[in-house]
Amino acid sequence: MESIFGIHEQALLIRKERESILANNLANADTPNFKARDIDWRKEIKNAQDQMDAKKFAPDLEMTNSRHIEAFGDMTTGDYLKYRVPTQPSLDGNTVEAHIEKAKFMENAIQYQASLEFINGKISGIRTALTGGG
């Protein structure tokens, strides 16, 4: 069954992961040689959409052997992380620029909230339909 929340369910998961990465960048702003990282948002949301589309047309797959390859994995390999190129490199090799990280963090938080509000609207609509409008 397709999720009633559409892509917003996956968007929340990606936004949550991105929040953690950006917070880690900010926490390491003074760590020598720390490299700021981020998620390629467009690529990850496209991957999530592609996975949703593939699941619509693929049969339910079951892993019956531990050596089977997982059909639809999650973002646990770290391959989805990209290093941020600094506009002003520091002498200690740290690429975190606090003002940029804070702006990205706030942008991500606002977009996370927007997805939550969309999902909340869907739930409210379903609740209204189930209770007869009142």
Residue-range domain boundaries for the chain: 8-131
pLDDT tens digit sequence for 78-110: 567 899 889 988 999 999 999 999 999 999 999
pTM listed for this prediction: 0.72
- At 55, which amino acid appears? K
pLDDT at position 1: 39
Better-predicted residue by pLDDT, 75 or 15: 15
pLDDT tens digit sequence for 112-122: 999 999 999 98
Residue pair 75/48 in contact (Cβ under 8 Å)? The answer is: no
- At 127, which amino acid appears? R
pLDDT tens digit sequence for 37-77: 999 888 888 888 887 766 655 555 566 776 655 544 444 44
What tokens were used for 36?
């700021």
pLDDT at position 2: 55
Which residues does 39 contact at the CB level (< 8 Å), separation at least 6?
14, 17, 18, 21, 75, 80, 81, 82
pLDDT at position 100: 95
pLDDT at position 49: 80
What tokens were used for 99?
């003002």
